[in-house]
Chain A
Amino acid sequence: MLLPDSIELADLAARWRSAYVHVPFCRRRCPYCDFAVVAPGDPHTDDLPNLTTRYLAALHAEIDLQPDWSPLDAVNLGGGTPSSIGAAAVGKIVEHLDSRFEIAPGAEVSVEANPEDVTEELVDGLLGAGVNRISIGVQSFDDEVLRFLGRAHTAEEAAAALEMCVPRLNCGVDLIFGAPGESLDSWRATVTSALEVYPHHLSAYALTVESGTSLWRAVRAGAAAPDADDQADKYEIVQAAAGDANLVQYEVSNYARPGFTCRYNLSTWGQGEYLGFGLGAHGHRDGVRSRNVRSVLAYVKALESGELPEAGRETPAERDMERLMLGVRRACGVNLGEWEGAAERHEGLQRLVAAGVVEIDRGRLRVLRPLLADDVAATVLSLSS
């Protein structure tokens, strides 16, 4: 078995092909979220059941419109809240992807879920639909923090959801740290609770203030903002605890038991290709990056008239720079390839080496302090003038 942070696994992942399916529906809009989301109260949501039906039909139409591709190694239903459409609807999507492109044997089929949706019935349904992985948006085990994050579940519901899932399928826990008001002790307790159930996978993301969100408006109006040093402390707490619990860090924010690395995730940072279906979804196919429209009505209408809902596409210049920029986020690092000489001569990069932020060993660059990964990535980008 390949370890989550092994070079071999990362190289393999770079060749995997995935599909991402976006399910935008949410019970409410979380104040920090800037995903393409449809929540009650938004425009055109008077008849939400009807909109959902039209949306799902459009999604299937989009799957049909996409040109043939080879088998999929990973399928990821994200959102929004994919669990909100129920196991049957999920099953139809998985089935359609399989009949259209073929889902490879042993492929990862993953669904994001909110704790309040998780029931034995849902898990049964998902398993029956061919889903083998679930990632649960726990975020925190502190009800105060959950309230601040605008979540609809409680810590108790989250614990129950994990207890239900971990024994039955490959289960990931998603956490968010560094909300203003979250104490170090609160975060330690959250991490402990998450690891207690020995999940297959753990993602821990620092709360980010994305422009245009209601959190952003509040901060702009003077509310407390997340503090970078506080987040650094919390990052180190989860990093240490995950290690103690035998989860292996394979990317800046991700940890896995050996054998349970999230394929879709690792493939993204390996510059792997993926099809993107649904509102605001991004695709990466044949070297072209494309993105779908973010307005639900525009999305549905495009597909109802037989057109692709694309909002734009680009062929990134300097593909190899992109590979480096993405690769530095992986624990196994990235092969410098033709940039090795330039890296040796680059003052900024050498300063990072001297400061112990990165190491360069036999042509491979590895970030030793992932908390500074963006500084490294920006420096790496400047290797090509």
Chain B
Amino acid sequence: MTEPRRIRNFCIIAHIDHGKSTLADRLLEATGAIDARNMRAQMLDTMDLERERGITIKANSVSIRYTPPGGEEHLLNLIDTPGHVDFSYEVSRSLAACEGALLLVDASQGIEAQTLANAYLAIESGLEIIPVINKIDLPAADPDRVAKELAGILGGSADEIIAVSAKTGAGIDEMLNAIIEKLPPPEGDPEAPTRALVFDSYYDTYRGVVCHVRVVDGELETGDDVRFMATSIAASADEIGMHLPASQVVKKLHNGEVGYLITGIKEIDLIRVGDTVTSARDGADGALPGYSEPKPMVYSGLFPIDGDDFERLRDALDRLRLNDSSLLYRAETSRALGFGFRAGFLGLLHMEIVRERLEREYDLDLVTTAPSVEYEATTTDGVALKVSSPQDLPDRSILEAIAEPYVKVMIITPSDYVGTVMELVQQRRGEMGEMTYLSPTRVELHYEIPLAEIVYDFFDQLKSRTKGYASMDYEPAAYRKSDLVRVDILLNDTAVDAFSTIVHRDKAYHYGRQMATRLRGLIPRQLFDVPIQAAIGGRIIARETIKAKRKDVTAKCYGGDITRKRKLLERQKEGKKRMKMVGAVEVPQEAFVSALRIDE
């Protein structure tokens, strides 16, 4: 066992791309946990998608044994966290398993939105923070400026801030020293009844659910009968071990230690991340403060292009959920698209990743409907409903009010762009909050903006309007009543549910026009004129017409070449097969995909 005074539990937090995972590489290397031969960039990013996109999606923990020069051996438990705002939930739960955090800042970028957001989270969780300036090897690095910004936020002296390069390894020893010297060892009572926090879990085909635990009080021993306190599920601790980063089985985990626990449990839903593990007999009275469930921010319909794939889609979602409990879904039926699912995601990146995994790992072709947020509708008889799919909105005749989720948005931008940012926020129905100067040239702006206004392209707009200099972070705020309407799209007088959307009244016309024009370009001409209309209730706000097809015949047959003629017609026949009949209109699958694409 490692006595608590020789243990340091910490996570690495930062804005996206500031070098957390690369720094973790250097720590693994400098401590000899991995030898140079087996090293590869961003070791801890193991998922294919993480490696391809070069970002961390899931928090990863690893234990490192380290003996400082002339000192005793220590056990460092580190958690590398994702920087993207969609996955800030991963940061929160990592923080709960640690006493300290390395707050990393890119020396060429300075403090950005997730730097602040994550720093505040760490402070709220009572963690000791070591600020670290990274990428000092870059020509554009300005460590002095960044040190001042950091000191301005965290207090303390700018001169003492550690500067490193996760690329060259410069400053890593100094940082290791600070980890040991400055971060507090875990507290907790070795004699008290066992309490271990489940801060992560994943599903392994052979071993079932593997829990990542941090023992807070007492100890966990192989063979113990244990109980998950929130769910009251009893199980036996079949295997206990540590990730070093190779798995190593141990007999016990003591208070302060981090490791994994395998029970016989196979169903991931029985184990909640944030739950407390205690002994089955003489267990603890109170559980550790857990986590709030991650709340989906955006919802979208997922429909197999081939209706026969519905069951395969269900299986695939079930399997993805084994390792991604933030993914929620329920079956949904669309008149236009058939059977599918309404799924909730943490954000657009999360949605894109899930979709990509479904298509790639499970070989499914999908139509994804326009992302929507979850509204609250109240009917005239006082019933409140959650509405995450436009088709679930009650009829106007009984609809009293609709409220929509707002988010608190923090934007950090060079002061030159304050006007530009304000303009953008105003277009998105945002409300100005505080404004703080981080330095004479950098400003921190706070707003409340309807979530629906930022899920689409707000971030891209912000980036392009500030030449890439602004960064943003957001967190949920309260719901507010808004003047929202549902815009329906009618094809040949039949509403196509997949195209309905809930928008602010002021934007309804724009949406209606855009959708009608797009569809006119995407739907082939039919045997009769097809009106495309956008409507609010019974009122038409936009209209386009697909003129009837008049000519669909080839002039002649070249030199008796019937074979070629037949091939052309066969292709036309295959094209017809891929059409979905919506009312009496043949709509190609591609039209759904393209019309619902999220670009302006």
Taking Cβ atoms with an 8 Å cutoff, the residues of A that contact B are 20, 22, 34-36, 78, 203, 205-208, 228-229, 231-232, 235, 252-253, 268, 274, 276, 280-284, 289, 291, 314, 316, 322, 325-326, 348, 351-352, 355, 357, 370-375, 377-379, 381-382
B561 interface residue, CB < 8 Å from A? yes
24 A-B pairs (CB sep. < 8 Å): A203-B556, A208-B554, A228-B550, A229-B547, A229-B550, A235-B551, A281-B559, A282-B563, A283-B560, A316-B562, A326-B562, A352-B527, A355-B527, A371-B550, A371-B551, A371-B553, A373-B552, A374-B553, A375-B553, A378-B569, A378-B575, A381-B569, A381-B570, A382-B576
A378 in contact with B559 (CB, 8 Å): no
The residue in B551, B563, B576, B577 that gathers the most chain A C-beta atoms within 10 A of its C-beta is: B551
Nearest 3 interchain pairs by C-beta: A232-B550, A378-B572, A205-B555
B140 interface residue, CB < 8 Å from A? no
B5 interface residue, CB < 8 Å from A? no
CA distance A352 to B528 in the complex (A): 11
B551 in contact with A253 (CB, 8 Å): no
B510 interface residue, CB < 8 Å from A? no
Q: Given the complex, which residues of B lie within 8 Å of A274, measured CB to CB?
A: 560
Q: Which of B536-594 contact A (CB under 8 A)?
A: 547, 549-563, 565-566, 568-570, 572-573, 575-577, 584
- Measured CB to CB, the nearest residue on chain B to A231 is B551
Q: Given the complex, which residues of A lie within 8 Å of B573, measured CB to CB?
A: 378-379, 381-382
CA distance A208 to B558 in the complex (A): 11
B559 in contact with A314 (CB, 8 Å): no
CA distance A205 to B562 in the complex (A): 17
Q: Given the complex, which residues of B lie within 8 Å of A370, measured CB to CB?
A: 553
A208 in contact with B555 (CB, 8 Å): yes
Q: Given the complex, which residues of B lie within 8 Å of A316, measured CB to CB?
A: 562-563, 566
Q: Given the complex, which residues of A lie within 8 Å of B561, measured CB to CB?
A: 282, 291
A325-B566 contact in complex given A379-B576, A382-B577, C-beta closer than 8 Å: yes
Q: Given the complex, which residues of B lie within 8 Å of A203, measured CB to CB?
A: 556
A35-B553 contact in complex given A378-B576, A381-B569, A382-B573, C-beta closer than 8 Å: no
Q: Given the complex, which residues of A lie within 8 Å of B552, measured CB to CB?
A: 371-375
Q: Given the complex, which residues of B lie within 8 Å of A229, measured CB to CB?
A: 547, 550-551
- Measured CB to CB, the nearest residue on chain B to A271 is B562
CA distance A207 to B556 in the complex (A): 10
B560 in contact with A282 (CB, 8 Å): yes
Interface size on B, residues (CB 8 A): 29
Taking Cβ atoms with an 8 Å cutoff, the residues of B that contact A are 527-528, 547, 549-563, 565-566, 568-570, 572-573, 575-577, 584
CA distance A268 to B563 in the complex (A): 12
B554 in contact with A374 (CB, 8 Å): yes
A372 in contact with B553 (CB, 8 Å): yes
B559 in contact with A282 (CB, 8 Å): yes
A289 in contact with B563 (CB, 8 Å): yes
Closest CB of chain A to B569's CB: distance in Å? 5
Closest CB of chain A to B541's CB: distance in Å? 29
Q: Given the complex, which residues of B lie within 8 Å of A322, measured CB to CB?
A: 562, 566
A interface SS class: mixed
Q: Given the complex, which residues of B lie within 8 Å of A280, measured CB to CB?
A: 559
A314 in contact with B556 (CB, 8 Å): no
The residue in B528, B555, B566 that gathers the most chain A C-beta atoms within 10 A of its C-beta is: B555
Closest CB of chain A to B116's CB: distance in Å? 52
CA distance A138 to B514 in the complex (A): 47
Q: Given the complex, which residues of B lie within 8 Å of A253, measured CB to CB?
A: 555-556
B584 in contact with A351 (CB, 8 Å): yes
CA distance A205 to B557 in the complex (A): 11
CA distance A20 to B561 in the complex (A): 12
B559 in contact with A78 (CB, 8 Å): yes
Closest CB of chain B to A219's CB: distance in Å? 16
Q: Given the complex, which residues of A lie within 8 Å of B528, measured CB to CB?
A: 355
Q: Given the complex, which residues of B lie within 8 Å of A22, measured CB to CB?
A: 559
CA distance A326 to B547 in the complex (A): 28
CA distance A284 to B559 in the complex (A): 12
Q: Given the complex, which residues of B lie within 8 Å of A206, measured CB to CB?
A: 551, 555
Closest CB of chain A to B533's CB: distance in Å? 22
- Measured CB to CB, the nearest residue on chain B to A20 is B560
B553 in contact with A282 (CB, 8 Å): no
CA distance A274 to B562 in the complex (A): 12
B551 in contact with A34 (CB, 8 Å): no
Q: Given the complex, which residues of B lie within 8 Å of A78, measured CB to CB?
A: 559
Q: Given the complex, which residues of B lie within 8 Å of A378, measured CB to CB?
A: 569-570, 572-573, 575-576
B572 in contact with A374 (CB, 8 Å): yes
CA distance A253 to B554 in the complex (A): 9
Q: Select A377's contact among B527, B569, B584, beta carbons within 8 Å.
A: B569
A348 in contact with B576 (CB, 8 Å): yes
Closest CB of chain A to B364's CB: distance in Å? 24
Closest CB of chain A to B588's CB: distance in Å? 14
Q: Given the complex, which residues of B lie within 8 Å of A208, measured CB to CB?
A: 554-555
B563 in contact with A314 (CB, 8 Å): yes
A282 in contact with B562 (CB, 8 Å): yes
B560 in contact with A281 (CB, 8 Å): yes
Closest CB of chain A to B568's CB: distance in Å? 8
Q: Select B562's contact among A36, A289, A375, beta carbons within 8 Å.
A: A289
CA distance A228 to B549 in the complex (A): 9
A351 in contact with B558 (CB, 8 Å): no
B559 in contact with A228 (CB, 8 Å): no
A284-B555 contact in complex given A229-B550, A378-B572, A379-B576, C-beta closer than 8 Å: no
CA distance A281 to B305 in the complex (A): 42
Closest CB of chain A to B545's CB: distance in Å? 14
Q: Given the complex, which residues of A lie within 8 Å of B549, measured CB to CB?
A: 372, 375
Q: Given the complex, which residues of A lie within 8 Å of B555, measured CB to CB?
A: 205-208, 252-253
Given contacts A232-B550, A378-B569, 16 further A-B contacts (CB under 8 A): A36-B559, A232-B551, A289-B562, A316-B566, A348-B576, A351-B527, A355-B528, A371-B550, A371-B552, A374-B554, A375-B553, A377-B572, A378-B570, A379-B576, A381-B569, A382-B573
A284 in contact with B527 (CB, 8 Å): no
CA distance A22 to B551 in the complex (A): 30
- Measured CB to CB, the nearest residue on chain A to B575 is A378
Q: Given the complex, which residues of A lie within 8 Å of B560, measured CB to CB?
A: 20, 268, 274, 276, 281-284
Closest CB of chain B to A299's CB: distance in Å? 14
CA distance A276 to B557 in the complex (A): 14
Closest CB of chain B to A303's CB: distance in Å? 18
Q: Given the complex, which residues of B lie within 8 Å of A252, measured CB to CB?
A: 553, 555
CA distance A280 to B558 in the complex (A): 10
Closest CB of chain A to B578's CB: distance in Å? 12
Q: Given the complex, which residues of B lie within 8 Å of A268, measured CB to CB?
A: 557, 560, 562
- Measured CB to CB, the nearest residue on chain A to B563 is A289
A34-B558 contact in complex given A373-B553, A377-B569, C-beta closer than 8 Å: yes
CA distance A35 to B560 in the complex (A): 11
- Measured CB to CB, the nearest residue on chain A to B525 is A228
Q: Given the complex, which residues of A lie within 8 Å of B577, measured CB to CB?
A: 382
Q: Select A372's contact among B527, B547, B559, B568, beta carbons within 8 Å.
A: B527
Q: Given the complex, which residues of B lie within 8 Å of A351, measured CB to CB?
A: 527, 584
Q: Given the complex, which residues of A lie within 8 Å of B554, measured CB to CB?
A: 208, 374
CA distance A381 to B573 in the complex (A): 7
CA distance A268 to B559 in the complex (A): 10
Closest CB of chain A to B560's CB: distance in Å? 4
- Measured CB to CB, the nearest residue on chain A to B584 is A351
Q: Given the complex, which residues of A lie within 8 Å of B556, measured CB to CB?
A: 203, 205, 253
A357 in contact with B563 (CB, 8 Å): no
Closest CB of chain A to B587's CB: distance in Å? 14
Closest CB of chain A to B156's CB: distance in Å? 65
Closest CB of chain B to A267's CB: distance in Å? 10
- Measured CB to CB, the nearest residue on chain B to A36 is B559
Closest CB of chain B to A300's CB: distance in Å? 18
CA distance A371 to B549 in the complex (A): 10
CA distance A322 to B552 in the complex (A): 19
CA distance A355 to B566 in the complex (A): 25
Q: Given the complex, which residues of B lie within 8 Å of A373, measured CB to CB?
A: 552-553
Closest CB of chain B to A137's CB: distance in Å? 13
